[in-house]
Amino acid sequence: MIVLHHSSDSSAAGMHPSLSAVRLRGATKRFVGLGKKEVLTALDSIDLDVEESSCVALIGSNGAGKSTLLSILMGTLLLDEGVLQLDHQDVGEQPSWKRADKIALVRQNPEHNVLSALSIEENFALAIMGRERAFGLRRYDRDAVRHAATQALAKFGMGIESRLSEAAGTLSGGQRQAVAVAMAAVRNPRLLLLDEHVSALDPKRAKVVAEVTEDIVRAQSITTVMVTHDLSHALKHSDRVLMMHRGRIVMDLSGDEKNAIGFTELASRFEHLVGEALPDRTLLAV
């Protein structure tokens, strides 16, 4: 679960500090415009706690700051102000490579998640070596890699586990996303970031990948933050839904309140809160 608050008194917000896998305090990120005169505040002093093993969905308007927040968590962007803790350690000023063994990211574009020229097995070998911080030319344990890959891939029911020697470039988009999630699973990360990871797939494949992803993160208790424009996906596959707008978190839903709300009501609430409609694709994606 996430607990959101806007004061430094965590107990007042009913927070359980020891259970936070991710903590942001006053997290601010600005971008300077092309003319170097305008400054855009992409994240505006965000306070956020993501409880260990919970799954959180980030939704919101275009330009709300969702991808920026994921990039801050990943370490590909650094905060201008504020604190980011992962597992109770300040990491806000550390680059991504220092977090590489703790965090996995599945991107929206299937082509960005696997190395097409390598075999599926080799992609898994790299993922596993990354987990063990053992990059380089040393030989990998083929049997162990194939075993881990087979176990993880079989969950998707796409038959990819029988194609481990084939180039990853021969896979369809949905199969690549399945491989990407399976590679993340074998790394058993402390934090999994999903950046619209099923939005480029046809509805049937998207459903399978989304459902198996949730099965995996629940089974392995992986703390997960996912960005999605699909409100029903957010409601169905998360414990908590956070809505962002102009660099702030403007809505925070969990528990019975989240379970009782439908996507049309969620969209109406958002429009009421921020005075503008969500992008059409938010509703079309349902």
Ligand X SMILES: Nc1ncnc2c1ncn2[C@@H]1O[C@H](COP(=O)(O)OP(=O)(O)OP(=O)(O)O)[C@@H](O)[C@H]1O
Binding stretches for ligand X (CB under 6 A): 31, 40, 42, 60, 62-68
Cβ proximity to ligand X: between 184 and 242 the closer is 242
Least Cβ distance, residue 236 to ligand X (angstroms): 19
Least Cβ distance, residue 39 to ligand X (angstroms): 10
Indicate the DSSP class of residue 26.
Answer: E
Cβ proximity to ligand X: between 19 and 200 the closer is 200
Least Cβ distance, residue 69 to ligand X (angstroms): 7
Least Cβ distance, residue 25 to ligand X (angstroms): 19
Cβ proximity to ligand X: between 60 and 173 the closer is 60
Cβ proximity to ligand X: between 38 and 256 the closer is 38
Cβ proximity to ligand X: between 163 and 233 the closer is 233
Least Cβ distance, residue 205 to ligand X (angstroms): 22
| Beta partners for residue 133, in sequence order | none
